[in-house]
Amino acid sequence: MSHDDARAAAITGDDSGGHMVSFGEQGAQLTYGSYLSLPQLLSAQHPQTAPPAHDELLFITIHQVYELWFQQLLHEVGEVRTAMQDGRLWWAQHLLQRVHVIERVLVQQVDVLETMTPQDFLEFRQRISPASGFQSVQFRELEFVSGAKDPAYLERFRGLTEAEEERLRVRLGEPTLWDAFVGVMAAAGLPVEDDAAVAASLRVVAHDRDRHAAIWALAEALLQHDELAASWRARHVVMVMRMIGGKSGTGGSSGAAYLRSRLPLQYYPLLWELRSEL
Q: How far apart are CA 126 and CA 52, in angstroms?
A: 13
Instruction: Please state the rounded mean pLDDT for residues 254-277.
Output: 85
**pLDDT exceeds cutoff 50 at 162:** yes
Q: Which residues contact 265 (CB under 8 A, 6 or more apart)?
A: 148, 229, 230, 233
What pLDDT was estimated at residue 269?
A: 97
What pLDDT was estimated at residue 101?
A: 98
Strands (E), the chain: none
pLDDT band with cut points at 50, 70 and 90 for residue 218? very high
Q: Return mean pLDDT, the chain.
A: 87
Cis link prior to 130 (omega < 30° from 0)? yes
Q: Are 249 and 258 in contact (CB under 8 A)?
A: yes
pLDDT band with cut points at 50, 70 and 90 for residue 10? very low
What pLDDT was estimated at residue 153?
A: 84
Q: Are 274 and 222 in contact (CB under 8 A)?
A: no
Q: How far apart are CA 219 and CA 93, in angstroms?
A: 9
**pLDDT exceeds cutoff 60 at 3:** no
Instruction: Please state the rounded mean pLDDT for residues 36-61.
Output: 93
* Range of weakest confidence among 89-93, 94-98, 184-188, 255-259: 255-259
Q: HSE-up of 221 (CA within 13 Å, CB side)? A: 26
**pLDDT exceeds cutoff 70 at 18:** no
> 171-213 pLDDT, tens per residue?
999 999 999 999 999 999 999 999 999 999 999 999 999 999 9
> 105-122 pLDDT, tens per residue?
999 999 999 999 999 988
Q: Which residues contact 69 (CB under 8 A, 6 or more apart)?
A: 102, 105, 106
Q: How far apart are CA 186 and CA 212, in angstroms?
A: 12
Q: How far apart are CA 113 and CA 37, in angstroms?
A: 25
Q: How far apart are CA 74 and CA 72, in angstroms?
A: 5
The more confidently predicted of residues 182 and 15 is: 182
Instruction: Please state the rounded mean pLDDT for residues 4-15.
Output: 49
Instruction: Please state the rounded mean pLDDT for residues 21-33.
Output: 70
Report the candidate in 41, 99, 27 with the shortest Cα–Cα distance to residue 70: 99
Q: How far apart are CA 216 and CA 209, in angstroms?
A: 7
Q: How far apart are CA 10 and CA 23, in angstroms?
A: 8
What pLDDT was estimated at residue 12?
A: 47
Q: Are 89 and 83 in contact (CB under 8 A)?
A: yes
Q: How far apart are CA 262 and CA 278, in angstroms?
A: 27
Angle between the 195-207 and 177-187 helix axes, to the nearest 10 degrees?
60
**pLDDT exceeds cutoff 50 at 67:** yes
pTM for the predicted model, two decimal places: 0.85
**pLDDT exceeds cutoff 80 at 159:** no
The more confidently predicted of residues 217 and 245 is: 217
- The percentage of residues in the chain with a pLDDT greater than 70, rounded to a whole number, is 85
What pLDDT was estimated at residue 11?
A: 44
Q: How many CB atoms lie within 10 A of CB 178?
A: 21
The more confidently predicted of residues 271 and 26 is: 271
Report the candidate in 206, 56, 28 with the shortest Cα–Cα distance to residue 127: 56
